[in-house]
A and B are shown apart, each in its own frame.
Chain A
Amino acid sequence: MLHDNPVLDETQGGVDKGDTGRLSIPLAAGLVVLMAFLIWFPIGKSEFTPIMWLWILALVGIVTANLLIPVRTKNGTFVRLLSSFGFVLFLVVFPFGRANSTITDFGIYVVFAVCVIGVNLTFGYAGQVSIAQAAFLGIGAYTSVLLDSGSEVGVFGMTFTLPNLPFLLTILIAIAVAMLFSVLVGMPALRVRGPWLAFVTLAFNVLIYLVFINEEELTGGSRGIRVLREEGFEVFGIDMVPLGNYYYLCLAFLIITILLVWYIVRSPWGRSFKAIRDNADRAASLGVDVRVYTLLAFAIGSGVAGGAGALYARLVEYIEPRSFFLGQSFDFLFASVIGGLGTLAGPLIGTSFITIIADHLRFAGDWYRVWFALLAILTMVIAPKGVAGSFNVLRNYVQARRRG
């Protein structure tokens, strides 16, 4: 008889079961190996070395603080905020006295982190896979660049003069356009449950790439567009021509995005997102409009990528369709998974895998992709919940031990 099942007869306790409070030896060993690898790897790489040390220190700091401090106490929240603040402080102080190429690398990290935070909101919180984040990055980039170019273009046999809007306004329009496209793509795909958004966004990314390549008069085709931060490029009256200044604009956008997502995730919306991710049918039976919420998560996640695109174009001063192809989308997806889905620190950690750490693998030449793939597989094997997720597991374990 079912009622005699010993497994179902556990009515007491209920604490520290399930995988959230359990620590596996491979996981602990794996994390140590991974951290050692990340620290050992940059040694001897000329200009990067001291920064990389600081970088690793900042990452280790954020996860250690997360590991040691209980979540649900007032002090805990404070220390966690402080550690995040320390991480941001590192991003703030590091450009002083650095070469432009280094600042660009970190600028790209900052801009891509915004994209990965977007993916994490759609995938990690609302449970829908988007494989078009690079397309939205591209849509934002081209929208912003075309709207403040002031040049003449011929499309469909007619000649248009493009407007010359202020840069901040083009960022907002880039966000709006990316959200609009995401709603158009998401509406049909999110009518039914299942992996359909992944398929549709996959096709959408290819489509957008072809549009970028083929609409040469507008986008410059495969030659791309040079977007220089020319004389008189100002935001709030601050000269944005020097890379050092522009980097802070990107960083400000990242911080705004983090605060926005943090607010959304802890609001009732975040609870609905998680409910849908955990069990969409149950959420619907409680009165949650699953379609509306998933669409909202997807639109916000894509919208921030649009804004990131506008910033990305002026950061690298050159955009071409290949930057926005599928490979980049998969990188964003990979970064969100490896960092830890459904965590706030995860995207910040994961993005360093596809930018700064990936750059360090380039010395391997043709072997770069192989090393990268190995690193990815290794990380997923030893830390299936991502780096931040694994530290959450560790922290729960430590807390459970303390409770006795």
Chain B
Amino acid sequence: MSTADYEDARTPSPVVEVRNISKSFGGVVAVNDVSFDVYPGEILGLIGPNGCGKTTLFNCVLGQYAPDAGQVMLKGTDVSRWSPPQRAKHGLSRTFQLLQVFDSMSVRDNPIMAKQPHISTIFGRLFKSPDLGLSEEVDNVIGRFKLGHLADEIAINLSYGQKKLLDTAMAFIAEPEVAFLDEPAGGVNLTMLGDVENRIRELNEQDGVTFAIVEHNMEFIFGLAHRVIVMTEGSVLMVGTPDQVRNDPRVVEVYLGE
């Protein structure tokens, strides 16, 4: 999907609206009055130098932090006061900056765990089969992520890049409205980087998964995103297509210094 096609296909109503989010820690203003929308079917990139508040913003949107001000709307519903599990069940999934797979579980069990909260109720789940009938679907997914041969391996035995792929698989398996990825390329070597990038693009184009991606590897995000938000010192510096952002003198200044 080229950027032009995507502009045409874009539906007018955003799936997630973030309105005027602010968050301070003590006297430090981490996020200052940030608003943005996520449209269905797009890959939204969020870039900025270290400490500009990207991850804090994610934590406010996903409910890990309570913002000092502002709202998060999911398909028109205000979810600002919902807990992270509630938001997850209604379609906001995420990965974390640091690796977050369940070490003691098998590679197959990790995505099952990611989908499990969306099936039945707590007490209903007690009487379901152990894999909730998800094994086949999950095997397909981990096969696409090149982890099929490791399905029975305990996750702690995976390499860093494999864990990163597994983490990404977990973020999308529950068919989220938006999958928020926090630095999917962080710490991944160059060969594996292409894998991560291709997998995300494939999920977006073939399965229609909407992504919002925080990253400070600029080349990675420019090759992937339809639209890029640049943050600096807690505020939005600019929003635009990768080309617009790449050529904007303000962005160059932020990244390369005065």
Binding site for B on A (CB under 8 A): 2-3, 5, 7-21, 72, 264, 266-272, 274-275, 277-279, 281-290, 292-293, 296, 342
Closest residue of A by beta carbon distance from B150:
A14
A285 in contact with B125 (CB, 8 Å): no
Contacts of A10 in B (CB 8 A): 159-160
Contacts of B190 in A (CB 8 A): 3
In the complex, whether B210 has a CB less than 8 A from a CB of chain A is: no
Binding site for A on B (CB under 8 A): 62, 64, 83-86, 88-89, 93-94, 96, 100-105, 109, 112-114, 116-118, 122, 125-128, 130, 132, 150, 152-154, 156-162, 170, 174, 186-193
Closest residue of B by beta carbon distance from A9:
B189
Contacts of A288 in B (CB 8 A): 85, 113, 116-117
Closest residue of A by beta carbon distance from B94:
A285
Expressed in whole angstroms, the minimum distance between the Cβ of A106 and any Cβ of chain B is 32
If A289-B85, A290-B85 touch, does A11 touch B104 (CB 8 Å cutoff)?
A: no
User: In the assembly, what is the distance between CA of A17 and CA of B101, in Å?
Assistant: 16
Expressed in whole angstroms, the minimum distance between the Cβ of B139 and any Cβ of chain A is 14
Closest 9 pairs (CB-CB, A-B): A287-B117, A287-B88, A282-B100, A268-B125, A18-B156, A278-B102, A287-B89, A10-B159, A284-B84
* Interface CB pairs A-B, < 8 A, 6: A8-B161, A267-B130, A271-B112, A272-B113, A275-B113, A279-B100
B85 in contact with A8 (CB, 8 Å): no
Closest residue of B by beta carbon distance from A2:
B187
Contacts of A296 in B (CB 8 A): 122
User: In the assembly, what is the distance between CA of A228 and CA of B188, in Å?
Assistant: 68
B126 in contact with A267 (CB, 8 Å): yes
Closest residue of A by beta carbon distance from B83:
A284
B160 in contact with A8 (CB, 8 Å): yes
A282 in contact with B130 (CB, 8 Å): no
Contacts of A287 in B (CB 8 A): 85-86, 88-89, 117-118, 174
Contacts of A19 in B (CB 8 A): 156
Contacts of B84 in A (CB 8 A): 284-285
Q: Tell me what chain A mostly uses at the interface: helix, strand, loop, or mixed.
A: helix
Among the interface residues A271, A274, A290, which one has the most CB atoms of the partner chain B within 10 A? Answer: A271
User: In the assembly, what is the distance between CA of A17 and CA of B160, in Å?
Assistant: 12
Name the contact of A18 in the complex, choosing from B62, B100, B154, B192 (C-beta under 8 A): B154
User: In the assembly, what is the distance between CA of A5 and CA of B62, in Å?
Assistant: 31
Name the contact of A278 in the complex, choosing from B93, B103, B122, B186 (C-beta under 8 A): B103
A3 in contact with B85 (CB, 8 Å): no
Contacts of A11 in B (CB 8 A): 159, 161-162, 189, 191-192
Contacts of A285 in B (CB 8 A): 62, 64, 84-85, 88, 93-94, 96, 100
B64 in contact with A292 (CB, 8 Å): no
User: In the assembly, what is the distance between CA of A266 and CA of B170, in Å?
Assistant: 20
Contacts of B105 in A (CB 8 A): 271, 274-275, 278
Among the interface residues A19, A277, A278, A289, which one has the most CB atoms of the partner chain B within 10 A? Answer: A278
User: In the assembly, what is the distance between CA of A293 and CA of B85, in Å?
Assistant: 12
Expressed in whole angstroms, the minimum distance between the Cβ of A273 and any Cβ of chain B is 11
Expressed in whole angstroms, the minimum distance between the Cβ of B25 and any Cβ of chain A is 18
User: In the assembly, what is the distance between CA of A269 and CA of B104, in Å?
Assistant: 15
A271 in contact with B159 (CB, 8 Å): no
A286 in contact with B113 (CB, 8 Å): yes
User: In the assembly, what is the distance between CA of A272 and CA of B130, in Å?
Assistant: 11
Name the contact of B157 in the complex, choosing from A8, A20, A272 (C-beta under 8 A): A20
User: In the assembly, what is the distance between CA of A274 and CA of B154, in Å?
Assistant: 13
Contacts of B104 in A (CB 8 A): 274, 277-278, 342
Contacts of A274 in B (CB 8 A): 102, 104-105
